[in-house]
Chain A
Amino acid sequence: MTELLSYVLPGVPYGCVYALMAAGLVLTYRASGVFNLAFGAQAYVSALLFSVVVQEGAGTWWAFVLSVVVAGPVMGLLLDGVVFRYTRGAPPLVRLVPALGLMIAIPSVAQMLAGTSTRVPASFVLRPNQVYFHLAGSAVSGEEIGTTLVAFASVAALAALLRSRRLGLRMRAVVESPRMAELHGVRSDAVGSLAWSISSLFAALAGVLLAPIYAQLNASNFTALLVAAIAAAAVGGLESLPLTLVGGIAIGVAQQVIGGYLPSGTILSSGLRPAFPFLVLAVLLVGRRSLRHDGRLDDPLAGCDPPMASLRPAPRMAEVALGAKAFTVALGAAVVAIAVAVVPGNWEFTFTQAAVLSIVMLSITLLTGLAGQISLGQAVFAGAGAFTAGQLAAHFGLPVLAGVLAGGLVAGMLGAIVALPTLSLGGISVGLLTLSFALLADNVLFLYSWSGNGATGLSVPRPKLGGLSFAGTGAFFGLSLVILGIVSGAVVLVRGGTVGRQLAAIRGSETGAASIGIDVARLRIVAFTLSAVIAGVGGALYASLEQSVSPNDFNYQFSLVYVVVVAAVGVYSVAGAIEAALAYTVLLQLVGSLPGRYSSLVALVFGLVALGYVRHPEGVVTYAQSWVLDRAEQLARFLQRDRASGAEAG
């Protein structure tokens, strides 16, 4: 009993911080329909700012005011005003991608600004590390008491605020129906800004409170915090703050208890703790009805909206379209050619990487672009393919090319299994579930010697086919192009065929699709399976290219990066996937050739891409093409008119 208590008590402060973050998540989700995955990054920025200011010698209180009271709400207002205000009522993908981009961009940029030296976190509450009293045999420190009190009080204050007539009612009105609220004189934009500043204040507070438990400030710790918070918010059904608080504390405590009781030193005990919130999230998503669909779709006045701008470019004059396409492709090729000429490096290898990565990206084209399903776990399927090929080569001497096929098959089976629990879910929930799966793979599944073999990883040889060897990068590049060609062809055929049209129908409206007899559940499984097969083939090929892989090559961040890149460049076309892979690998190569302190440039590009995506969800390349098209069409019309008037005169 005392042993149990000694695990339970230290969990409470963590739990309270989770609840604090979670309350912020619920607030913005309710007020603007955005599931702000950048919250962890915001917490990290505030913790970093706090530590920097304290280490510069300013007082703790000054640091607190600057990093939490000022920086928190300011960040929230910025994000709302520049990005998320424009995603209101947009499809789930459009609401998710900017948050993902910012989640990747913000920490790197902050790190760059703060200098590269690792920061030791400073502590804010009470007098840290001083034991105040003993409870049930365990020492309770000032940090723990302070954290618990501050977090608890903040959530309680928010709950009271939402219950108040003035603000609470307005906020509820905006949530129910922004248009109806506007008709009654509530300014929904103002309410949204308020919600964003309060919730970002909470994120900042959570960051500063939690920072001292880490040895050094590291953005990925704050991602873990974010996910625990998502799980806590799910306990509250993305609605109830008291339940969210209970959920946060329960998760914090459960993590400590798991850590205490499982035999130490095994993968399960070290992995289950970080993965636990994901399991909770997965169970809740599947089990709780209220979480399944985006509540915002039920706005009774939604029918009065002007229709969303089509994500598909309007039909064009055929010759002009061809010309503009040729022009943009030529422009892209010129940029790449200049990069190759100016920047030294192993470009042959880079282009081979791009070809292989294109295959992985095509898995997103099929699943997200065609079928409209959001997966934040594509890297897991790629990893499954890679490790299957590696294990089969190591233990059974299977030729690598056969391993690539086997990798695709195993990944496909995994895809089908992952699809099953998502069948009753809609939009962003599918994304969260697959994200939780990706973290489970990172922390547990891929660490065993029979799978990804932990940090050591696996070595995979280059393929041979009969007398043909693909050991050289040039030959491997040729092989990758052939496989890329086959996969692209398959995607094009599926898209033009019956299954492709049915998937497109599901993307448009699942209710409508069911009303004409489409078995939505079966087709979702088909989409996930096909997409996972493609990702698995790409992953296995990647392993063979790199000749050695470890789970780190396929961690959850890659899943997020892939989605952001493909969505931003163009998720609806095969060309988009290839351009995305090319742009990404070339960017990495360019930044890699710069001095180390510029490494955050990649993240900066991501941030800009996220901002651009909000305005142009059809993808930047598609947008660029249609921009060129518009100009070209104007010119063509002008010339036609010229000729016509010339004929008249003659």
Chain B
Amino acid sequence: MPLLELAGVSKSFGGIVALHEVTLAVAEGEPVGLVGPNGAGKTTLFDCIAGLLEPEAGSIRFGGRRVDGLPPFRRSRLGMARTFQRLELFSGMTPLEHLLVTERTRQGTGRLWKDLVGLGRPTRAERREADALLDLVGLADVADQPVEVLGLGRARLVELARALAAGPRLLMLDEPSSGLDDDEREALASAIERARRELGAAVLLVEHDLDLVAEVVSRLVVLDAGKVIADGGVSTVLADEGVRRAYLGAAR
């Protein structure tokens, strides 16, 4: 049984059809690349899966149960984590604090009375885990800076680390490499790799950098004008005539 299963998902904004009967399945632990020209509906698809948008038609199953209709935080608790194309960081907090709050929320042990008797502070184990994650994405040196002072590239890495800290079964990354320099891109690739290895997480990767995509995934889904126009192995899909026309044509 696939981890994520979309059937006939459609979404439009006024007259614009952003998604048209998208059907897609992602197996447990499978890395999948999702590509397509700007405006193809990739972000909209993520928003529908995560619950920020409700599709007009179709069904979404995650881990075998219907999740459409569930609010975003419930879907997250079922094991979805994501990054945002337009960052949604916790302004005013440091990268370390981002990870601490995420870990604590994952454990679901937030109780007001515990805070009031002083049991709410981060434990050593939580700090170690957070430090390890920060090391992994290469943010250890800015662990205690407010996120506003970080550049776009490092801010994206904070979002990635936060998503990983949630311990996801499905990791959705929306253009994670835009704004990253070479070192950061390296850290990104290894972080995705480790998420797959250690968490066994499935990955949905939206990315324009096809080298990075080929490095991380073996299967590619192409979206154009809200429709899935190709789905298969990376090399086969990239050789496909229709894909070249949609993607390269739009890039021209």
Contact = CB atoms under 8 A, between A and B. Distances in A.
Pair from one complex? yes
**Interface residues of B toward A: which range?**
35 or more
B114 A498 contact: yes
Contacts of B149: 307, 310, 314
Contacts of A311: 92
B146 A310 contact: yes
Contacts of A499: 110-112, 115, 120
B110 A516 contact: no
Contacts of B111: 498-499
A558 B166 CA distance: 42
B71 interface: yes
A513 B110 CA distance: 14
Given A315-B144, A504-B97, A515 B76 contact: yes
Interface in B118-132: 118-121
Nearest to B101: A501
A515 B81 contact: yes
Interface string B35-49: 000000000000000
A365 to B, nearest CB: 14
A449 interface: no
A589 to B, nearest CB: 35
Contacts of A512: 84, 88-90, 162
B100 A508 contact: no
Contacts of A490: 116
Interface in B66-122: 71-73, 76-77, 81-82, 84, 86-93, 97-98, 100-102, 104-106, 108-112, 114-121
A307 B98 CA distance: 18
Interface stretch (A134-142, A518-526, A603-611): A518-526
B54 to A, nearest CB: 13
Interface in B195-223: none
A419 to B, nearest CB: 15
A499 B118 CA distance: 12
A501 B101 CA distance: 6
Contacts of B110: 497-499, 502
Interface in A503-546: 504-505, 507-509, 511-520, 526, 530
B135 interface: no
Nearest to A512: B88
A310 B101 contact: no
A514 B121 contact: no
Contacts of B98: 505
A514 B90 contact: no
A312 B166 CA distance: 26
A507 B115 contact: no
Nearest to B91: A508
B144 A505 contact: no
B148 A307 contact: yes
Contact of A308 (B84, B144, B148): B148
Nearest to A513: B90
A496 interface: yes
Contacts of B52: 511
B121 A496 contact: yes
Contacts of A498: 101, 104-105, 109-111, 114-115, 120
B60 interface: no
A360 to B, nearest CB: 20
A344 interface: no
A441 B90 CA distance: 35
Interface centre among B87, B89, B119, B148 (most CB of A within 10 A): B148
B190 interface: no
Contacts of B104: 498, 501-502
Interface string A300-322: 00110001111110110000000
A309 B147 CA distance: 10
A619 B145 CA distance: 20
Contacts of A314: 145-146, 149
Nearest to A307: B148
Contacts of A310: 91-92, 146, 148-149
**Interface residues of A toward B: which range?**
35 or more
B144 A516 contact: no
A483 interface: no
A500 B115 contact: yes
Interface in B132-161: 144-146, 148-149
Nearest to B82: A515
A515 B88 contact: yes
Contact of A497 (B121, B146, B163): B121
A140 to B, nearest CB: 45
A509 B88 CA distance: 6
Nearest to A520: B73
A508 B105 contact: no
B90 A518 contact: no
A494 interface: yes
A65 interface: no
Contacts of A520: 73
A514 B71 contact: yes
A519 B89 CA distance: 17
Contacts of B72: 511, 514-515
A515 B83 CA distance: 9
A108 B165 CA distance: 54
A82 interface: no
Nearest to B150: A307
Nearest to A300: B86
B192 interface: no
A500 B105 CA distance: 12
A310 B148 CA distance: 6
A518 B120 contact: no
A493 interface: yes
Nearest to A313: B146
Contacts of B105: 498, 502, 516-518
Contacts of B148: 307-310
Contacts of A518: 73, 101, 105
A492 to B, nearest CB: 10
Contacts of B32: none
A504 B73 contact: no
Interface in B166-203: 166
B6 interface: no
B79 to A, nearest CB: 10
B86 A303 contact: yes
Across chains A and B, which 9 residue pairs bring their CB atoms closest together, nearest first?
A: A497-B120, A497-B115, A508-B90, A512-B88, A498-B110, A517-B76, A514-B72, A501-B101, A509-B88
19 contacts: A303-B86, A493-B120, A494-B116, A496-B121, A497-B110, A497-B118, A498-B110, A499-B111, A504-B93, A507-B91, A508-B90, A509-B88, A512-B88, A513-B73, A514-B71, A517-B76, A517-B77, A517-B106, A519-B73
Given A494-B115, A496-B120, A497-B120, 15 more contacts: A303-B86, A307-B148, A311-B92, A314-B146, A494-B120, A497-B116, A502-B101, A505-B90, A507-B92, A512-B84, A512-B90, A515-B76, A515-B82, A516-B76, A516-B102
